[in-house]
Amino acid sequence: MKHVNGNNGGELRIILCVEFDRRARPAEVSSLKCALVESPNCIHSVDVTGSFDLIAEFAAPGIAWYKTWLAALADPLARTVNRYEANFVFERSFRRAIDEDAVWVPESGGFKRIDSALIDKVTAEGDYVRIHSNGDSWMLHETMKSVSQRLRSAEFIRIHRSTIVRFQFVDRVTRESRRWVAHLADGTSEAVARSHVTETLEVVRSRPPQVRQISA
């Protein structure tokens, strides 16, 4: 984990947390919100639920600028805000970026890295996903979305909301009993959801013909 000083080159970073007054006029709340998030000094902002309604980060040239800026907003703040808190960033911590093109799976009390090129398919099982690779499989307490973000998207097809398969692992796609089925290299098969049929067939037809077969 990398730590950096929040006061970079004399620039002051401010985290402003705002709770709007539910009795305030919506137009005035909207006006104040725009003044905050559209300020050239606003780095980013998020609408949230809980103790506050809006959290925004600002870059200021110094504490004097901050006090002057806040004084200019005193009137709209008094009319529309129930409470607010300003926090000055002292230090930032950056986590290592999520490992792309790979998934880490639990193994023997630790974790093992599975490169996306070695993953055959990913299936959802309740609140878990199962990673399949070379005849083995591992359960992860993650979502399909989070896992798919770490796969090389060009190499995988989403054939069902609960199934992602590596394109090279698909042996053929056939229409059976009014539904489409993807037959995989390990002899298993997975249903292709109606909502993914068009996308799946387009991907299959666009790839080299020696790779896959389609049977209507």
What letter represents residue 19's amino acid? Answer: E
Whether the model clears a pTM of 0.85, i.e. scores above it, the answer is no
Do the beta carbons of residue 211 and residue 168 sit within 8 Å? yes
Spatial strand order of the sheet with 163-166 comes to 136-140, 128-133, 121-125, 163-166, 156-160
Cα gap 152→103, rounded to integer Å:
11
pLDDT digits (tens, 9 = 90+) for 71-104: 999 999 999 999 999 888 876 655 544 556 788 8
Name which of 188, 164, 191 is nearest 177 in CA terms: 191
Cα gap 103→175, rounded to integer Å:
32
Residue burial 30-50, b: 16+ Cβ < 10 Å; e: rest: eebbeebeeeebbeebeeeee
pLDDT digits (tens, 9 = 90+) for 114-169: 888 899 999 999 888 999 999 999 988 888 888 888 887 678 989 999 999 998 89
CATH fold, domain 102-215, is OB fold (Dihydrolipoamide Acetyltransferase, E2P) (2.40.50)
pLDDT digits (tens, 9 = 90+) for 8-52: 445 788 999 999 999 999 999 999 998 898 888 888 888 888 889
What is the model's pLDDT at position 2? 36
Query: Locate tokens 């006090």: which residue?
Result: 67
Cα gap 212→141, rounded to integer Å:
32
Domain ranges for the chain, please list them: 2-94, 102-215
Helix (H) or strand (E) holding 105: strand 102-107
Cα gap 87→6, rounded to integer Å:
12
Do the beta carbons of residue 132 and residue 120 sit within 8 Å? yes
Residue burial 74-96, b: 16+ Cβ < 10 Å; e: rest: eebbeebbeeeeeeebeeeeeee
Considering the four listed CATH numbers 3.40.50.300, 3.40.47.10, 3.30.830.10, 3.30.70.920, the one that applies to the domain covering 2-94 is 3.30.70.920
Tell me: pLDDT of 7 over 80: no
